[in-house]
Structure 1
């Protein structure tokens, strides 16, 4: 069973981390970081919840999270899942988001031995700004953009400039379609109308890149806790219960793009009878 994360890993954004799934390599490629207001992010929590879990909070009492992309490499080919924020920064005076910034993805790809032109396609989990940022920049203008059919159909809320930047390269994808060797999409609405996850298999293991189905490792222990960003709270909670059960199965790993410095992990039982919790997987 993987070890429990060191407390410091839960309140800092992740650096580059990689795993092998047989002949496929998956790597978290950081773009930046996000800081979130815990009571707004998870409205079912209370001050007492966070007093019991101070390891998740930074010195200002905010949740620290990661923002970036998942690089999938197989047979010399390269796919990105999401693209981070891009060269931008955001702040909000209220609500779940306190602040976020990006810009590091090109350097992260270089550190992983990849040029932007090596990326043949970007598969999006959904079209929120912290996932599509670099797709609106020249950096990835050559790549095909893979977006679930219902997510693209619901694009009216997008900034018109973002919609225009995406439109020229979009190919819509359907549930259970293979989008890259060993990578299948499954559509799990709730966070957004067409939110997608990607299941990557290889070497007898599978990895579920679950996008924003969960924002914090605490939701692995409390799957009924929906996020303040979720479009349909009951649908997301129901899906999260099913996802948590999957992530407790043997040889199954999750990828939580916002999960501080524990982006890869699985859900494991505890010895003291408390709810199963997120356990980092680093190899």
Structure 2
């Protein structure tokens, strides 16, 4: 047990690599693009220095919370769907605020390792319209003029796309324009791919979407930015500085944590460290988030 906890602690301090699971006929894989280093107190503003002193396992040597940036590949036979498109081939550094550094650029290589090329992706479905999820869908590929998924449909929840003015207000007018010709809006409960349904979970953004993937008697909930770190599974009341409506997000997160504790249910946290797939176990024996393969 001690060795298991040491390994899990190490995984909480590094970004995720490629990880895959099967749900019956559906294969689901995390596709790394890069990573993000976050200032924990600025991200989760209801926490204290004492909280993080008690949980050093979540922080790297510089005191930053480590997160992953990437997408989720869903495969059914020869068909392929991508949920979120990483940050793209760029780096951002900030002297203050929740984000210290974020960089991307590996998503195309990660897809290739999984035996897929951008041309195999029939659609890119977004959890929401933030730059660390839009990345490769609206930025030119290195050495070219078009995004790598230029031929794919871009699936966005209807209320999220209806308020794309908020995207433009964040200085992302060019990204919105790049997305617009390919966007197909989707509605709550709509099946977008075999075994994949979208559900709207507003709070982080006005039309934030989660994707529920079912197969083989199990379901996986890709919950996007409803949860940024596994520590929030133990403390769903802690909303992030990026949440559009912190109270609404916290209410949803409480329900989500209870749902993730149900039998046959797996969670996927796109910004988690190297524990992106997991179960919730509220048994009082250690953290509630248990990596699927631990």
Q: Same fold (TM over 0.5)?
A: yes
Deviations 1:53-96 (A, max 9, x none): 00110111000110000000002100000000000111112111
The CA distance in 1 between the partners of 2:96 and 2:207, in whole Å, is: 26
Aligned residue in 2 for 1:146: 155
What residue ranges of structure 2 are gaps of 5+ in the alignment?
141-146
What residue ranges of structure 1 are gaps of 5+ in the alignment?
none
Aligned residue in 1 for 2:66: 64
Residues 134-143 or 66-75, more deviating: 134-143
Aligned residue in 2 for 1:260: 273
Over 3 Å counting, the alpha-carbon distance change for 1:189 and 1:271 in structure 2 is closer
The CA distance in 2 between the partners of 1:236 and 1:89, in whole Å, is: 28
Matched residues, number: 279
1:277 counterpart (260, 284, 288): 288
2:29 counterpart (13, 27, 30): 27
Q: Point out 4+ residue stretches in structure 1 off by more than 2 angstroms.
A: 269-272
Q: Tell me the secondary structure at the aligned position of residue 89 of structure 2.
A: coil
The CA distance in 2 between the partners of 1:139 and 1:182, in whole Å, is: 25
Aligned residue in 2 for 1:15: 17
The CA distance in 2 between the partners of 1:188 and 1:194, in whole Å, is: 7
Deviations 1:162-210 (A, max 9, x none): 0111001000000000000000000000000000000000000000000
Aligned residue in 1 for 2:178: 165
TM-score (norm 1): 0.96
Aligned residue in 2 for 1:126: 128
Relative contact order: is structure 1 or structure 2 higher (C-alpha 8 Å, sep ≥ 6)? 1
Deviations 1:215-255 (A, max 9, x none): 00000000111001100001000000000000000010000
The CA distance in 2 between the partners of 1:27 and 1:240, in whole Å, is: 23
TM-score (norm 2): 0.93
Deviation at 1:271, TM superposition (A): 4.4
Aligned residue in 2 for 1:51: 53
Backbone CA RMSD of aligned residues: 1.2
- 1:227 paired with 2:229, answer no
Q: Tell me the secondary structure at the aligned position of residue 171 of structure 1.
A: strand
The CA distance in 2 between the partners of 1:176 and 1:271, in whole Å, is: 34
